[in-house]
Amino acid sequence: MTPSALPSPKAVLILAVLGWVYWPTFAELYDTWTTHPEYSHGLLVPFFALYLLFKRKPAITVEPTPWPVLGFATLVFAILIRLAGSATSFLPVEGLSFVLCLAAVAMLAGGRAGLVRFWPPIVFLVFMIPLPYEASRLLGAELQRVATFASTFLLQCFGQPAIPEGNRILIEDVTLNVVEACSGLRMLVTFVAFSVAAVLLMDRHWLVKMLVLGSAVPIALVTNVLRITATGLAHVWLHDSDSKGKVLDFIHDFNGWMMMPVGLTFLLLELWLFKHLLIERPAAGYQPPVASPLQPAAAPRAKPRFASVIRVPVNR
């Protein structure tokens, strides 16, 4: 790291003050990450944000022009909601106020250039904040309902006489309970965070990035449905087995462990399909840079245009 890339003493002081002010919030967040499995990915979010901070190069080379008015207004608003969140013990608001404080510091330090430089790590920090309890409860209940009906349909496709009843699946004399832990909320939150991280790192066309983001929720839901279906089939096939208890417990846990690898496999398959179905080509008039001893590295490439497999340009 070059000396110019190191943070200034003023920036270090500001971050130290923010760290001291928000220390109780960080302690609560850490407790949430370590006690609620659906938010365990929050432990990695700050480290990935720091990686983005030092990996991402400034996109604007002009002299930064601070935004004192907007930055100060954002800072005041962040402090106010921090006080409100602390008074009501509402952790999501306290965490959001920290993210807003960082955005305010970026505006005060560099204005538009500061936001362009720092917005990816700042925005990604949102994934370390837990959902409000009521939102988590309602979302989890809806995911339970979707998982129950989708898994019932898939079990029927496998020839099983499955019938949904509330959050239970009845398969003859086998009852499969789709409890809150099986709603898929954990997979959904974690996989969306992972997909956003992948989009921030990949050097692909914006359309591919949007498709990856848009597919995060369906992939998470499908993965959870496959898990429940596989568990249901195991219950049916091992129903008369003498050692079914331990075996079914292992299968249930194993299917849970495999959710993220299966989701990542779907994501990699999706990227492979995009690579072969959507072919990038340089925009019209683009001339590749000529390497020289003084400048061997390639110059910034022109914006690509997509072509289909038969190389027909796709309208933007």
Predicted confidence (pLDDT) per residue in 225-251, tens digit: 999 999 999 988 887 666 677 788 888
Place of tokens 């979302």: 139
Task: Kindly report the length of the chain.
Answer: 316
pLDDT of residue 316: 45
Q: What pTM, to 2 d.p., does this model score?
A: 0.79
CA distance 48 to 113: 21
Query: What confidence tier does 221 reach under pLDDT thresholds 50, 70, 90?
Result: very high
pLDDT tops 60 at residue 112: yes
pLDDT tops 90 at residue 47: yes
pLDDT of residue 95: 94
Are the CB atoms for 276 and 285 separated by under 8 Å?
no
pLDDT tops 60 at residue 2: no
Mean pLDDT of the chain: 83
Domain boundaries, the chain: 3-130, 134-263
pLDDT tops 80 at residue 186: yes
Three-state SS string over the chain comes to CCHHHCCCHHHHHHHHHHHHHCHHHHHHHHHHHHHCHHHHHHHCHHHHHHHHHHHCCCCCCCCCCCCHHHHHHHHHHHHHHHHHHHHCCCHHHHHHHHHHHHHHHHHHHHHHHHHHHHHHHHHHHHHHCCCCHHHHHHHHHHHHHHHHHHHHHHHHHCCCCEEEECCEEEECCEEEECCHHHCCHHHHHHHHHHHHHHHHHCCCCHHHHHHHHHHHHHHHHHHHHHHHHHHHHHHHHCCCCCCHHHHHHHHHHHHHHCHHHHHHHHHHHHHHHHHHHCEEEECCCCCCCCCCCCCCCCCCCCCEEEECCCCCECCC
**Of the ranges 8-12, 56-60, 208-212, the best mean pLDDT one:** 208-212
For residues 45-73, average pLDDT: 78
Nearest to 38 by CA among 107, 118, 120, 133: 133
Please count the CA atoms within 13 angstroms of the CA of 150 that sit on its side-chain side. 18
Please count the CA atoms within 13 angstroms of the CA of 304 that sit on its side-chain side. 15
Query: What confidence tier does 60 reach under pLDDT thresholds 50, 70, 90?
Result: very low
Tokens of 5: 């890339």
Place of tokens 């850490």: 30
pLDDT of residue 310: 40
| Angle of helix 259-277 versus helix 244-257 axis, rounded to 10 | 40
For residues 169-197, average pLDDT: 89
For residues 65-88, average pLDDT: 89
For residues 15-33, average pLDDT: 90
pLDDT tops 90 at residue 114: no
pLDDT tops 80 at residue 304: no
| 53 against 58, higher pLDDT | 53
Q: How far, rounded to the nearest angstrom, does the alpha carbon of residue 186 sit from its chain's CA centroid?
A: 11
Q: Which amino acid is at 124?
A: F
Are the CB atoms for 90 and 97 separated by under 8 Å?
no
